[in-house]
Amino acid sequence: MTRRTAADAIDAVWWIESARLIAGLARIVGDVGMAEDLAQDALVAALEQWPESGVPDNPGAWLMATAKHRAIDQLRRQKMQGRKHEHLGRELDERQVSPEPELAAAIDDHVGDDLLSLIFTACHPVLTTEARVALTLRLLGGLTTDEIARAFLAPKATIQQRIVRAKRTLAAARVPFEVPRGAELAQRLESVLEVVYLIFNEGYSATAGDEWVRPALCEDALRLGRILAELAPAEAEVHGLVALMEIQASRIRARVGPGGEPILLLAQDRGRWDHLLIGRGLAALARAEALGGAYGPYTLQAAIAACHARAHTADETDWTRIVALYDALAQLTPSPVVELNRAVALGMAFGPAAGLEVVDALTSDPALAGYHLLPSVRGDLLAKLGRFDEARAELARAAALTQNSRERELLLKKLGAL
Amino acid sequence: MKFMTIVKTRETGAHPSPALIEKIGKLGEEAAKKGVMVGMGGLAPTAQGARARLTNGKITVTDGPFTEAKEVIGGYAIYDVPSKKEAIEWTRKFLEAHIGLWPQDLEVEVRQMMDDPSNGC
């Protein structure tokens, strides 16, 4: 531990080990809230002992053994039903006699399933979306309540309460700690993917607010996605989501200019894209495609993102393919926002008139009333058709509607150039 | 944050044992399952490589092996972690895996990869 404090090492070990620790404990005690408390107790023990004794060779196994001792103590005290108690005692005894490496292996045997169960539990539909997000970041992302609060620009007490309530809800609803099977799996997986993508977008679309913390949310979501891809490799949509996030994340440093102003996709300096992430994204997309079957919504969006990623210049973009992918996406998950994106692609592939036809059909959609991107897109298409007066009016409307001052500047700049 | 860890060792022509390869493979898998492994790999002997230098405005290229080098880069890994601490912890695990299975000393440089300081992800 020379040149490195024990506290730093414990922090790092906790971040690496906490999810599987909580997952392993939850399998044994059957309650995520109790499992987290036990894991925290073990962490406190580590904080007390490791600075003196040094970090043990297998810190994960040490934490697990310590937490299990406490679990037994607690269960005895609570006189919980005999069966569970006995089971836990037996499991611990077996591991007590086994030498260290076997102990570690015994934990590793279950770890994949345990982690997956933990993800599915944290994203259980019985919880509100906010609660799912907070619990997932806390239990699987290894974030502290403070970090979650900062990331979501919410008071710490709010997040704390949200997590406590979520754990109570799970216990009250007797949500089993398991990976759902059969028909339920697909539906529950959807909720998991939604939570991960929501975390990603919270970081990705934030050009306002605390710039420093929010990109970290993209990283958290990416890691969660990658974990899922390792744990559920047969699920095409998991790879689709990972591909989508990797490719989107590859553009992060290119999508904001030196003054903090947003730079739109087609105007970005592609040399500043992160090609390491693009490579990973394309590989994840290939994995999704290799699994066969119809493309799901995440895979479709990833395939669209990949069209941009593969184009060395904006002019090389395969807009015809993008239109086809948006057609498929609009069929699978019809929404006015998808339709608007499809209109942009149509305009690029087949000329502004083709795009405008679709956009015009959207102007009466109440879901898009007040959505600044509608007049923004319409203004662009009108300008390309040489209908400058109408274009100016649309861009002015878009500028008035947007909540983001940077985006407003960009729109007004466009307007001024017409 | 992405960190590249660069493994340096003497080039003796020794090959890692199957036991070591397995251990490192498991560690890589563990890191992948934690979502932090961006990429890792070993490098072929310097005999198969070359060095290109810019000296006083003049470029020279020399084929390997790098016989004069005390240490060469033997492998690398790229981790995506929240801070340097975690990168160090993975590196510690990596070195630990070599104990008793690799006869030489090892050094690993843990280096943060540059992103735009204002908006890197």
Domain ranges for chain B, please list them: 2-112
- CB contact (8 A) between residue A223 and residue B36: yes
Q: What's the pTM value of the predicted model, to 2 decimals?
A: 0.84
In 3D space, the residue among B27, B35, B4 whose CA is nearest the CA of residue A137 turns out to be B35
Preceding peptide of A233 cis, ω within 30°: no
A231 CB within 8 Å of a chain B CB = yes
First to last CA, chain A: 64
Q: Evaluate whether residue A298 is within a structural domain.
A: no
A15 CB within 8 Å of a chain B CB = yes
pLDDT category of residue A212 using cuts at 50, 70 and 90: very low
In 3D space, the residue among A244, A125, A145, A146 whose CA is nearest the CA of residue A195 turns out to be A125
Give, in order, the Cα–Cα distances in Å from A167 to each of A64, A126, B81: 21, 11, 27
* CATH number 3.40.1190.20 is the correct assignment for the domain at B2-112: no
Residue-wise pLDDT for A244-264, tens only, equals 999 999 998 888 887 777 788
Q: Evaluate whether residue A45 is within a structural domain.
A: yes
Determine what percent of chain A is predicted with pLDDT higher than 90. Answer: 61
Expressed as residue numbers, the domain containing A37 is 1-110
User: What are the beta bridge partners of residue B62?
Assistant: B51
Q: Evaluate whether residue A34 is within a structural domain.
A: yes
Instruction: Using an 8 Å CB-CB cutoff, list chain A residues near B88.
Output: 4, 8-9, 12
- Euclidean distance between CA atoms B39 and B2, whole angstroms: 11
Highest-pLDDT range among A151-160, A178-187, A297-306: A297-306
- Euclidean distance between CA atoms B114 and B117, whole angstroms: 8
Instruction: Using an 8 Å CB-CB cutoff, list chain A residues near B120.
Output: 215, 252-253
Nearest CA in chain A to B78: A276
- Residue identified by tokens 């298409």 is A381
Is residue A131 within 8 Å of residue A162, measured between CB atoms?
yes
- pLDDT, residue A196, reads 95
- pLDDT, residue A84, reads 56
Instruction: List the single best residue of A276, A278, A280, A282 to mutate versus B (max B Cβ within 10 A).
Output: A276
Largest CA distance in chain B: 47
Is 0.90 exceeded by the ipTM?
no
- CB contact (8 A) between residue A260 and residue B118: yes
pLDDT surpassing 90 at residue A221: yes
- CB contact (8 A) between residue A226 and residue B32: yes
- CB contact (8 A) between residue B86 and residue A15: yes
Is residue A268 within 8 Å of residue A213, measured between CB atoms?
no
Q: Evaluate whether residue A141 is within a structural domain.
A: no
Decide: residue A13, CB within 10 A, 0-12 exposed, 13-18 middle, 19+ buried.
buried
pLDDT surpassing 80 at residue A205: no
Distance from CA of B36 to the nearest CA of A (A): 6
Nearest CA in chain A to B89: A12
pLDDT surpassing 50 at residue B91: yes
Fill in the amino acid letter for A16: I
Instruction: Using an 8 Å CB-CB cutoff, list chain B residues near A256.
Output: 118-119
Among candidates B33, B85, B119 on the partner chain, residue whose Cβ is nearest the Cβ of A227? B33
pLDDT surpassing 80 at residue B78: yes
- CB contact (8 A) between residue A223 and residue B34: yes
Nearest CA in chain B to A15: B86
pLDDT surpassing 90 at residue A135: yes
Paired tokens of A270: 């592609």
Residue-wise pLDDT for A143-163, tens only, equals 889 988 887 778 999 999 999
Nearest CA in chain B to A111: B33
Q: Evaluate whether residue A37 is within a structural domain.
A: yes
Among candidates A8, A11, A249 on the partner chain, residue whose Cβ is nearest the Cβ of B121? A249
Among candidates A216, A227, A255 on the partner chain, residue whose Cβ is nearest the Cβ of B35? A227
Is residue A299 within 8 Å of residue A285, measured between CB atoms?
yes
Q: Evaluate whether residue A168 is within a structural domain.
A: no
Instruction: Using an 8 Å CB-CB cutoff, list chain A residues near B78.
Output: 276
pLDDT surpassing 80 at residue A107: no
Is residue B80 within 8 Å of residue A223, measured between CB atoms?
yes
- Euclidean distance between CA atoms A369 and A375, whole angstroms: 10
- pLDDT, residue A7, reads 83
User: What are the beta bridge partners of residue B75?
Assistant: B7, B42
Q: Evaluate whether residue A35 is within a structural domain.
A: yes
Structural domain count, chain A: 1
Among candidates A9, A19, A280 on the partner chain, residue whose Cβ is nearest the Cβ of B89? A9
The rounded mean pLDDT for chain A is 87
If one counts every other C-beta atom within 10 angstroms of the C-beta of residue B54, the result is 8
Give, in order, the Cα–Cα distances in Å from B10 to each of A334, A415, B46, B92: 60, 63, 11, 19
Q: Evaluate whether residue A348 is within a structural domain.
A: no
Among candidates B34, B85, B121 on the partner chain, residue whose Cβ is nearest the Cβ of A11? B85
Instruction: List the single best residue of B89, B108, B116 to mutate versus A (max A Cβ within 10 A).
Output: B89
